[in-house]
Amino acid sequence: MTLPISIVIPTYNRAQLLARFLPTYFADGCSEVIIVDDASSEPVESVLARSRVKAPEGTQLRVVRNPHRLQQPRSRMIGVEATSYPYIFFGEDDAYLSPGHIKTLFDFLATGGADAAAAYWLTTTVVEPVPLTTSSLSCGSSASDFVNLWEFTLRTDLGILKPTVVPWLHTLALIRKDLLLREGFDTRYRGNAFREETDFYLRAYHHGAKLYLIDAPPAFHYKGQHNSAGGQHGRSGIQSFLIYEHWVARNNYYFLRKNADAVRSLRHTLSPFVETLFYMLRRGLGYPGRFRFELRRGLDTAHAAVGVRG
């Protein structure tokens, strides 16, 4: 049975990685997959053709190429506007899925009462999909275990004992199309578009949408040597890092100011400027760990390059 689901995957300069992971999006028999190429240096269609990636029978694969770089929020909405089915699953060019991931989300939403659902999204440095059980994960028993109200973040590595309502989800979620058309992604988020997803989810939640975390076969977020560039991050280096953090601060301030009522309902009482200042200070405490991770990834890339030349 073909599921009435459109998968939308925005991508920028990661077509080779996307070609590796795209077959995992075909596994559950969704009706269509729409890739939104945000004016990548090499057109995604060319890379997919060279990689001989084809959709299975019953699934339509389409590529929509932006005429110039429009950034993530606008690319998402271009994908939504091109869809033909009542449910939309957002994918990522550096993420892959276990079989049954989307089907489990769909079965939950189809029972009624929910507007969007997501499950596990586990970080990995392994390119090839591998079976993994989630039974070894520590478990969360309430929304407070999964949601950090001060950082506006979501833990996706806790066992989900029962469907749990939360004020926001992560990227890899199945969403009713009518909710996306009603709330939409705000295209005024600039640069790295930081907070654009949280903005959409929090607005929808504040307006009465039911967003759930449920137990399902996991999705994986690849953080290895092959995705050190592309996406929202661009090239590595101190200048790129400073530019990225500049947009984090600007977009965070815009998010807090725009969603003032919803943010106050979460017991945030300080001004958007002060909240952003404290947020950036807390974020700075994690910089050493991020630098060590980037250094390790750079060394892995260098070693792999030496191995290829040898």
Q: What is the pLDDT of residues 57-90, one digit of tens each?
A: 999 999 999 999 999 999 999 999 999 999 999 9
Are 143 and 200 in a shared domain? yes
- What is the model's pLDDT at position 307? 47
Domain count, the chain: 2
In a 10 Å sphere around its CB, with 0-12 CB exposed, 13-18 middle and 19+ buried, how is residue 144 labelled? exposed
- What is the model's pLDDT at position 137? 87
- What is the model's pLDDT at position 128? 74
| Ranges of the chain whose pLDDT falls below 70 | 129-133, 225-237, 288-310
* Cα first-last separation, the chain: 48
Here the tokens at position 194 are 């930081």
179-213 pLDDT, tens digit per residue, is: 999 999 999 999 999 999 999 999 999 999 999 99
Q: What is the 3-state secondary structure (H, E, C) of 49-104?
A: HHHCCCCCCCCEEEEEECCCCCHHHHHHHHHHHHCCCCEEEECCCCEEECCCHHHH
**Is residue 232 domain-resident?**
no
Which of 203, 227, 251 is the endpoint of a domain? 227
**Is residue 233 domain-resident?**
no
Are 127 and 273 in a shared domain? no
Are 123 and 254 in a shared domain? no
Are 180 and 242 in a shared domain? no
**Is residue 73 domain-resident?**
yes
Residue 197 maps to which CATH number? 3.90.550.10
- What is the model's pLDDT at position 305? 45
Neighbours of 244 (CB within 10 A): 15
Neighbours of 36 (CB within 10 A): 25
Which of 227, 250, 267 is the endpoint of a domain? 227
Are 87 and 52 in a shared domain? yes
CA distances in angstroms from 36 to 12, 40, 211, 274, listed in the order given: 9, 10, 25, 36
Q: Which domain does 251 fall in, by range?
A: 238-309
- What is the model's pLDDT at position 241? 82
Would you say 24 and 128 are in contact if contact means Cβ atoms under 8 Å apart? Answer: no
- What is the model's pLDDT at position 306? 44
**CA gap 157, 290 in Å, rounded:** 19
Strand partners, 176: 87
Task: Say what the pTM is.
Answer: 0.89
Are 194 and 302 in a shared domain? no
Q: Quick one: how far is CA 85 from the chain centroid?
A: 20
- What is the model's pLDDT at position 297? 55
143-164 pLDDT, tens digit per residue, is: 999 999 999 999 999 999 999 9
